[in-house]
Structure 1
Amino acid sequence: MNLQHHFLIAMPALQDPIFRRSVVYICEYSEDGAMGIIINKPLENLQIEGILEKLKITPEERAPEIRLDKPVMLGGPLAEDRGFILHTPPGFSSSIRVSDNTVITTSRDVLETLGTHNQPSEVLVALGYSSWEKGQLEQEILDNAWLTAPADLNILFKTPIADRWRDAAKLIGIDIQTMPGVAGHA
């Protein structure tokens, strides 16, 4: 099982305040563990334009039709001061290809394109990330903490944030809002 370019969908019983009702996009998955970004937990009062201002990045050729008032996500509980940008190709200096249509970048050069005609067509900015050690995520899945589904770019980039948890579960035919808090094994 390779979960790269998949969603982890928190089960209703998962009550951890960071991961409750979360959808995590898995960016890296190997026998050593997994790394992902929560895509549906916006940080309060922080938008992309605020990040650019903080870093003193002013787009040279600002395209006014490109909105920079999109919220920045809490990507996870680790390195919350570090930025991660999920986007469609092309890649930048520190980009890692997650799938044919998705890249994760941590370098400043992608930020410098935001708000210009050179920015990637789809962008999600997050602070922090989520990580699991070898075997940890698999155990959490066995313990019914998570559902998994192949990632969908519409949910990743376009679905309203409040609907992403529900819509990600619908990808595998589940109405998560009607699920009981605890599931069993068949």
Structure 2
Amino acid sequence: MTEQYLDGKMLIAMPGIGDDRFERAVIFVCAHSQDGAMGLVVNHEVDSLSFGGLLERLDLVENDDAIRLPESIASTRVLQGGPVETSRGFVLHSRDYFSAESTLGVDSNIGLTATLDVLRAIARGEGPRKSLLALGYTGWGPGQLEGEIRQNGWLHCDADEGLLFDSDLDAKYQSALARIGVSEAMLSGGHFGNA
């Protein structure tokens, strides 16, 4: 039997997943293999932190430059990508930006870059056409994600730029469910992980 890996797909948390950090979470799977999986939650934001604020904290732009950032960039919300390495930043983006040294090509349309160069490029207006910035990531060991799916912890659907980069974070959960013909009212709130 061939394993089905979910690189480039969206995971949708089921009610009763048993972890508040993943309640109503939609996760983009960046990498998935026999060695485990890694993804970013794309609909939970870090409270009170914008892209402009993050650049200032990291001293990537001087205060005078930060004031001149276009409002659409400066006010971009920073997402909580997951509970692992929450001080590490990841930029999920369209593939019109690609660094051979630092970008992981998730698929032909989406890349993942975790270096400061992409933040500088975005601040200068030279970054990708579409992007989101997340702190931390979600990770699974070998076979762990597959087990959670078998225990009805996650549904999955195809991803596209609309769902991935939509700025209406609250609508992403319903939108992801709708892609597979499911409404939230249809889902059982059963306990995840209990046989």
Length, aligned pairs only = 183
* Identity value in percent: 36
| Superposition deviation, residue 178 in structure 1 | 3.9
Aligned partner letter, 2:123: G
- The Cα offsets for residues 50-87 of structure 1, whole Å up to 9 and x where unpaired, read as 11011111287966364321111111110000000001
Tell me how large the CA RMSD over aligned residues is: 1.9
- Partners of 1:34 and 1:133 within 8 A in 2: yes
TM-score (norm 2): 0.88
- Partners of 2:78 and 2:133 within 8 A in 1: yes
- The Cα offsets for residues 128-181 of structure 1, whole Å up to 9 and x where unpaired, read as 001101111001000000001111210110251001111111111111244221
- Partners of 2:90 and 2:112 within 8 A in 1: yes
TM-score (norm 1): 0.92
Separation in structure 1 between the aligned mates of residue 19 and residue 152 of structure 2, nearest angstrom: 14
- Structure 2 residue runs of 5 or longer lacking an equivalent are none
- Partners of 1:84 and 1:104 within 8 A in 2: yes
Q: Secondary structure at the match of 2:106?
A: strand
- Partners of 1:74 and 1:127 within 8 A in 2: yes
- The Cα offsets for residues 83-113 of structure 1, whole Å up to 9 and x where unpaired, read as 0000112212411000111000011100001
- Partners of 1:166 and 1:177 within 8 A in 2: no
- Structure 1 residue runs of 5 or longer lacking an equivalent are none
Which one of the candidate residues 33, 39, 45 is aligned to 1:36?
Answer: 39
Which one of the candidate residues 173, 182, 185 is aligned to 1:174?
Answer: 182
Alignment match, 2:27: 24
- Partners of 2:52 and 2:69 within 8 A in 1: no
Separation in structure 1 between the aligned mates of residue 57 and residue 167 of structure 2, nearest angstrom: 27
Structure 1 residue 69 and structure 2 residue 80: aligned?
A: no
Structure 1 residue 153 and structure 2 residue 154: aligned?
A: no
Aligned partner letter, 1:80: T
* Divergent runs of 4+, >3 A: 59-63
